[in-house]
Amino acid sequence: MRLLFIPLLAVLLAALPGAATAAADISAADLYQPCAACHGADAGGNAGLQAPRLNHLRPVYILAQLDKFQRGLRGAGGATAAAQQMAASVSMLPPPERWPDLAGYISELASGPSTATLAGGDAAMGGDYFNQFCGACHGPAAGGNVALNAPALAGADDWYLAAQLQAFRSGQRGQHREDRTGRQMRNMARVLPGEQAILDVIAFIRSQPE
């Protein structure tokens, strides 16, 4: 027994670290490959697929959202079709210990600003709304605030900002009991008086440097 056991153990011990190294050897660029199909190779987004730009986001926010999608706090039943599609894509994620590498890689990618798809927003009006209702959390120039979990908005696609504000307002995002930061933002999105105010505030955000 003992003679059989020891070599077997030795083989196992030799194999285990090898396997772990192989997993860790996959580059962050390779981890991102399946995501690129929707979000683009430079993470600049794809409006046709409703997949937003990601490279303006900080890793800490990317990690928080991936965790929400995986746990069903975002993108579960009642969410928009786009959010449900992202929730279904979490199966493409590497093991959690590699998520920081993946998020770091995404935030290092660069792309030009996305094309404007919305017209009719008044950036000056939007600036007033933003200072009054948004800047305290997202920063005066929409650069985000890590301590408050508020993401950067400058650099985001205009269509995505509009879709998220609508989703928060209708309760399709930020409705889960455990989604504390989502619920916080849902309440704030409802403060904007209407469609024109949404266009205005987005025009202001888009006027800010990334």
Nearer to ligand HEC, 13 or 26 (CB): 26
100 sits in which H/E element:
helix 99-108
Interface residue with ligand HEC among 201, 203, 206, 208 (CB under 6 A) is 201
For residues 31 and 105, the answer to whether their CB atoms sit within 8 Å is yes
Q: CB neighbours of 73 closer than 8 A, spacing ≥ 6? A: 67, 176, 178, 179, 182
- Collapsed DSSP state (helix, strand, coil) of residue 150: strand
Which of 9, 38 has the CB closer to ligand HEC? 38
Residue 15 token pair: 């194999």
Give the phi and the psi of residue 121 in degrees, each rounded to 5. Answer: -90, 140
151 counts as binding ligand HEC under rule CB under 6 A: yes
Q: How far is the CB of 121 from ligand HEC (least distance, A)?
A: 12
Closest to ligand HEC by CB, 102 or 109: 102
CB of 120 to ligand HEC, least distance (A): 17
Q: How many CA atoms lie within 13 A of 91 on its CB side?
A: 4
203 binds ligand HEC (CB under 6 A): no
From CA 126, how far away is CA 196, in angstroms rounded?
Answer: 9
Q: Which amino acid is at 3?
A: L
Q: Which of residues 24-63 bind ligand HEC (CB under 6 A)?
A: 34-35, 37-39, 49-52, 54, 57, 62
Does position 154 bind ligand HEC by CB under 6 A?
Answer: no
3 state SS of 180: helix
Q: Considering beta carbons, is residue 3 or 147 the nearer one to ligand HEC?
A: 147
If the CB atoms of residues 7 and 48 are measured against ligand HEC, the closer one turns out to be 48
The Cα 111–Cα 55 span in angstroms is: 8
Sites of contact with ligand HEC (CB under 6 A): 34-35, 37-39, 49-52, 54, 57, 62, 64-66, 80, 82-83, 85-86, 89, 92-93, 102, 133-134, 136-138, 148-151, 153, 156, 161, 163-165, 181-182, 184-185, 188, 191-192, 201
